[in-house]
Amino acid sequence: MTKRKKAVFNWSGGKDSALALLKILEQDEFNVVSLLTTINQETLTSSVHSIPVDILDKQAKSIGIPLYTVLFAKDLSDYDSKMSDTVDFFKKQGVTHFIFGDIFLTDIKTYRENKLNPLGIEVVEPLWNMSSAEVMNDFLKSGIKTKIIVTQANKLNETFIGKDLNHETISLFPDDVDVCGENGEYHTLSYAGRLFKNKVDFTILHTNKISYDIKLDNGKTKTFEYWQAKISS
């Protein structure tokens, strides 16, 4: 019997993470010793999906894999040093692989490899090079349940917040929205289905409109607006 490789799964709490983790667990090639989530130290929510830590912990307990969180400054100025320390922590436990739920954004995969390979960690991408349609098809077949909790305001309006991601919801997406939200059109929170031993309960209290000023490569600044669910356990 081949010994399983020790791995850390980089957990966002959303649909792609849930599907990628399900695939990894079903393949049985890796011993996933921990879920890893980056946290904004000011809001105590996950960096992209803005899921509160207590709900991330509920997800981990329901899945049955411990959650390891790393707190970062809002401007990510301490990202490299914190991630280096995190890698050292897991390498001492024999971890050799970090697993992600990316699909086809080459820049992201290259960035991860450039950061982790020199530290002796291999990057694993179980959804890599699948089309958005293929990923969504697999997700819908998986039985994992997930709700939309963030949308890019100029792509999907406030009414999409709180909707379950299913055939009916997808049919309402405008033509310019990637079905998986791979261009940042939306983010989700997974809460039930085959991956979970029990349902992860949470409540959407209300919806906020937030904005970020992003500096572009040409030196100009562009403002991006999002609808974001305020979530409570």
Inter-residue contact 143 to 193 (CB < 8 Å): yes
Residue 101 has a pLDDT of 93
Segment 38-65, tens digit of pLDDT? 999 888 999 878 899 999 999 999 999 9
Q: Can you state the angle between helices 79-91 and 106-116, rounded to 10 degrees?
A: 60
Place of tokens 């290259």: 110
| Token pair of 54 as six digits | 């207590």
Segment 169-182, tens digit of pLDDT? 999 999 999 999 99
Residue 93 has a pLDDT of 95
What's the rounded Cα separation, in Å, for the pair 210 and 225? 6
Q: DSSP letter for 146, please.
A: E
Residue 221 has a pLDDT of 83
Inter-residue contact 7 to 34 (CB < 8 Å): no
Place of tokens 């992860």: 200
Helix H or strand E encompassing 152: strand 145-152
| Token pair of 130 as six digits | 């699948």
Segment 75-106, tens digit of pLDDT? 667 878 888 999 999 999 999 999 999 997 77
The answer, yes or no, to whether residue 165 has pLDDT greater than 80, is: yes
Residue 169 CA, chain-centre distance (Å), reads 20
Query: Is pTM beyond 0.85 here?
Result: yes
Residue 107 has a pLDDT of 82
pLDDT band for 1, please (50, 70, 90 cuts): low
Inter-residue contact 122 to 30 (CB < 8 Å): no
